[in-house]
Structure 1
Amino acid sequence: MNTIKNIAASAYQSSAGGIFGLIFALGAFGLAGCSALPEPPSRPVMYDFGPGPMQTAPSDRRAPLPALALAEVDAPGLPDGSNAVLYRLAYADAQQLRPYALARWSQPPAQLLQQRLREHLGQRRAVLKADDGAAQVRDATQGGNLPPVLRVEVEEFSHTFTSAAESVGLLRLRATVVDLTPAGEALRGQRVFIVRTPARSADAAGGVAALAEASTQAAKEVSEWVEQVAAPRP
């Protein structure tokens, strides 16, 4: 308030056109005040893994594989329910996951990974939801047994910087295949998959692209592994 009074007094006394000086001074003060106001924050950019297959795949002449039940992907290594795009400075503070301020996944990463897994697993077999009634239907190709269940846990899903200039999309997940028997679950196999995909840029967009590529590669590797461990038993 004192600043406005001082500007007004000096403008009035400086010349015969004091009133015009006063108006000019007050206008200038108002413009300066407006320019100092903070700009509204930008909206976060939303990312996913891309559109997936753009056309129907050619018919596979091989015999279809037995049905598989896919459980909901769990993500114990990520913040619960978070859609944040996370990065890690492995060269400086490897124990800290940090969120990009203006980047978000369109869904929690576990759901995006579930979709990518279903796409690859479903190329030669029926993929059922583990909690669906259809998954409790006994499969004739499995000797009348229930279909095996695939469980996946995401342990790491981050844009990881190995140095200030180099980074990768790092995905580590644990896959487990079990049979459902009257006596309980019987383990068929378990394996940890680690995929590192170089990022093209050291920002959120580069990290997202690398993680999407790593997820596609991991889904392919899991599908090939499941084909071996979930093969029909004689």
Structure 2
Amino acid sequence: MNHNRLRSCAAIVAACTALLAGCASTKAPAPTSFDFGPVAAPVTPTPAAAAIPALIVADVNGPATLDTDRMFYRLTYANAQQALPYAYNRWAATPLQLLSQRMKARIAQGGVKVLSTLDATGGVPVLRLEMDEFSQNFASATQSTANISLRASLFRGHQLVDQRTFTRSTEAPSADAAGGASALAATSDAIAADLLTWLATLPPR
């Protein structure tokens, strides 16, 4: 009887050891990085190029929460005030960097010569961009939208020429990080198009 009990205990210990070993060998999924993808085919030069042939485009500024590679989302149907991070998904760069690159690329595609702050020369207008919102918001467990709000200010010298806030939303193709990244890229492109249209309406120097 004692031998049977010993065998039983040994079998239980062996099973538990195997289970623990299996748990220890299980690794968390490898993080997946997202960016805005390649810039689409160049657009036809816009009237903005005639109004502003050259432009210094400063990097986008924004809150500290957008100066990180973590991807966040909000469950607006549960708690709109809480930003939640995706566990295994990251941006390839910070949202501020991604949007800076995208805006400069799209403005250049519109025919405007884009200069950096290091290339500043007298008389070239300066475009400053401030991001107020950059988020993926879930209205339900299966439906989300990408939302971006960007404030643009154009200066000539130290004088403000005009300021405009651009806000756009795009429905995500899937209720996950990949869908959010795709929708945020599309929203960025839509805002860039709005920005070019606005620049074309500004008075020439």
Q: Structures share a fold, TM > 0.5?
A: yes
Q: Percent identity?
A: 36
Query: Using the alignment, how far apart are the partners of 1:175 and 1:71 within structure 2?
Result: 11
**Which structure: larger Rg?**
1
2:137 corresponds to: 160
Task: Give the 3-state SS of the residue equivalent to 1:91 in structure 2.
Answer: coil
CA separation of 1:80 and 1:159: change in aligned 2, threshold 3 A: closer
Q: Aligned partner of 1:173: which letter?
A: L
Bigger strand share: 2
Query: Using the alignment, how far apart are the partners of 2:44 and 2:191 within structure 1?
Result: 23
1:35 corresponds to: 22
What is the aligned counterpart of 2:181 among 193, 200, 208?
Answer: 208
The RMSD of aligned alpha carbons is 2.7
CA separation of 1:29 and 1:88: change in aligned 2, threshold 3 A: closer
Task: Give the 3-state SS of the residue equivalent to 2:86 in structure 1.
Answer: strand
Q: Give the aligned length.
A: 202
Q: Is 2:35–2:91's contact at 8 Å kept on the other side of the alignment?
A: yes
Q: Is 2:66–2:95's contact at 8 Å kept on the other side of the alignment?
A: no
What is the aligned counterpart of 2:149 among 172, 181, 185?
Answer: 172
Residues 1:128 and 2:115 aligned together: yes
Q: Give the structure-2-normalised TM-score.
A: 0.86
Task: Give the 3-state SS of the residue equivalent to 2:93 in structure 1.
Answer: coil
Query: Using the alignment, how far apart are the partners of 1:61 and 1:178 within structure 2?
Result: 20
Q: Is 1:66–1:232's contact at 8 Å kept on the other side of the alignment?
A: no
Please identify runs of 4+ aligned residues in structure 1 that moved more than 4 A.
20-26, 57-65
Residues 1:100 and 2:72 aligned together: no
Per mean C-alpha deviation after superposition, the further-off stretch among 62-71 and 121-130 is 62-71
1:147 corresponds to: 124
CA drift at 1:102: 1.1
Query: Using the alignment, how far apart are the partners of 1:45 and 1:61 within structure 2?
Result: 36
Task: Give the 3-state SS of the residue equivalent to 1:92 in structure 2.
Answer: coil
Q: Is 1:166–1:202's contact at 8 Å kept on the other side of the alignment?
A: yes
CA drift at 1:226: 1.6
Residues 1:195 and 2:168 aligned together: yes
Q: Is 1:83–1:108's contact at 8 Å kept on the other side of the alignment?
A: yes
Q: Give the structure-1-normalised TM-score.
A: 0.76
CA drift at 1:95: 1.5
Name the structure, 1 or 2, with higher relative contact order (CA <8 Å, separation 6+). 2
CA drift at 1:162: 2.2
Gap runs ≥5 in structure 2: none
Task: Give the 3-state SS of the residue equivalent to 1:37 in structure 2.
Answer: helix
